[in-house]
Amino acid sequence: MTEFLVTWLAGTPSYAMPLLLASLGLILSERAGVLNLSAEGIMAVGAMTAAVTTLLMGHPWLGLLAGAGAGIALSAVFGLAVVVFRVDQILAGLATVAIGIGITGVIGRPYVHQTVTGIDPVQLPVLSAIPVIGPVLFHQDPLFYLAVVLALMASWMLARTRFGLRWRAVGEDPAAADIAGVDVQVTQLLAVLASGALCGLAGGYLSVVSSQVWVEGMVAGRGWIAIGLVIFVRWSPVRAIFGALLFGGASALTPRLLATGANVPVYLMMMLPYLLTIAVLAIPAMFKLGRGPEPENLGTVYLRQDRR
C-alpha cells in the first residue's frame, strides 16, 4: 500500500507540471484582462516544436526553449489580433487553437513516434533519501522546481511590485489604468506573450520530459483543463501549484489503478480528471465561494475613445 502511494505521489508532479505551467501563463494573461482560450493550440505547437528540435539538435533543453519560443510566436498572432485589431477574444482564442493543432499535424508528421532524448530527474542529495517525502518531492525533474519558482515569482510580481500593480490595473479597469499613464496595449501584449511562452513550455514538457516522444493530439485537452484550473484557483499563482498537483494527482491515479488490475471500467477512470474539472468548477459557483479576484475587465478590449 505504501508503495502504491509513493509511486502514485511521485508520479503526480509530472502530470501536474504541464497544467501548472499552462495555467500560470493563463493567469498572467487574464490578470491583464485578456481571456486566452488558445492554450490547447499553443501547447500543441510547443510539444511538437520541442520534440522536433530535440530530435534535430540532440539537446532537450534546446528543445524546451524552442517550444517556449514557438508558443511566443503563435501567441503573438493571437495578441496582435486581440489587442491591436480588437478581434473578439473568444473567437481569436478558438481560431488559434485550430491554427496550432493544424500546424503541428503538417510539420510534425515525419517525426511522429521517434524517441526523444529526455531530461532526467535530479536527485537532491540528502533530502531525497527521506522515506516517502524524499522520492515524492526531491527526486523530480528540474522543471518541477523551475515551475514552482516561477509561480512564486509571478505571485510576488503581481502582488508586490509596481509593475504588477499596473499589470493588475489593466485587467481590472483599463480606463483607470490608462488615465494613470499605463500603456494598456503594451501591457496586454506582454501578458499574452508571457502566457504563450509558458504554454509552449508546458507543451514541450509533455513531449520532451513526460513521454519523450511526440504523437499527434498528445496534449489531449490539457489546455482546456488549465483554463478551468485558472478559475478553480481564483487567478492566484500560488494556489495554482496546489490546484495543478490536485489535478495531476487525479490523472496520475488512472494508470496506477489500471496497473493494479482493479476491476474498474477503463473509460470511467480516464474520465476522472475531466469529471474533477467539472466538479471543482461547479462547487465554488454553487456555494458562492467564487468571490476571489476575477479580473473585472476580463475579455473586453479597451480603446481610449470608447464611451464608457
Ligand X SMILES: Nc1ncnc2c1ncn2[C@@H]1O[C@H](COP(=O)(O)OP(=O)(O)OP(=O)(O)O)[C@@H](O)[C@H]1O
Beta carbon of residue 176, minimum distance to other proteins (angstroms, whole number) = 4
What is the nearest approach in angstroms of ligand X to the Cβ of residue 305? 5
Query: What's the distance, CA 104 to chain centroid?
Result: 18
199 binds other proteins (CB under 8 A): no
How far is residue 296's CA from residue 169's CA, in Å, rounded to a whole number? 10
In the chain, the amino acid numbered 102 is G
Closest approach, Cβ 169 to ligand X, in A, equals 21
Which parts of this chain interact with ligand X (CB under 6 A)? 305-307
As measured in angstroms, the least distance from the Cβ of 56 to ligand X is 52
Q: Least CB distance from residue 308 to ligand X, whole Å?
A: 8
Residue 305 interacts with other proteins (CB under 8 A)?
Answer: yes
Own/partner pairs, 218-222, CB within 8 angstroms, 24+ separation: 218/44, 218/47, 219/40, 219/43, 219/44, 219/47, 221/40, 221/274, 222/18, 222/19, 222/22, 222/40, 222/43
Burial class (CB in 10 A: 0-12, 13-18, 19+), 109: exposed
**Kindly report the CA angle at 48 between 12 and 241, in degrees rounded to 5?**
30
In the stretch 95-134, what mask flags binding to other proteins with x, by CB under 8 A? ----------------------------------------
Should residue 56 be labelled a site residue for other proteins when binding is judged by CB under 8 A?
no
Query: How far is residue 46's CA from residue 67's CA, in Å, rounded to a whole number?
Result: 4
SS3 label, residue 218? coil
Closer residue to ligand X (CB): 162 or 308: 308
Render 45-81 in DSSP notation, one character per residue. Answer: HHHHHHHHHHHHH--HHHHHHHHHHHHHHHHHHHHII
Q: Which is nearer to ligand X, 120 or 306 (CB)?
A: 306
Of residues 145 through 164, those in contact with other proteins by CB under 8 A are 162
Binding segment toward other proteins, per CB under 8 A, in 135-143, 170-178, 224-232, 258-266 = 170-178
Cell 516561477 -> residue: 150
Partner touching 159 among ligand X, other proteins, none, CB below 5 to 8 Å by kind: none
9-48: which residues touch other proteins (CB under 8 A)?
Answer: none
Closest distance of CB 290 from ligand X, Å: 33
The answer to the question of residue 180 lying near other proteins (CB under 8 A) is yes
- Candidate residues 2, 85, 287, 308; the one interacting with other proteins per rule CB under 8 A: 308
Q: Which is nearer to ligand X, 260 or 305 (CB)?
A: 305
Sign, Cα dihedral of 234, 237, 238, 240: positive
Tell me the Cα Rg of the chain.
20
List of residues contacting other proteins (CB under 8 A): 162, 165-166, 168-169, 172-173, 175-182, 293, 296, 304-305, 307-308
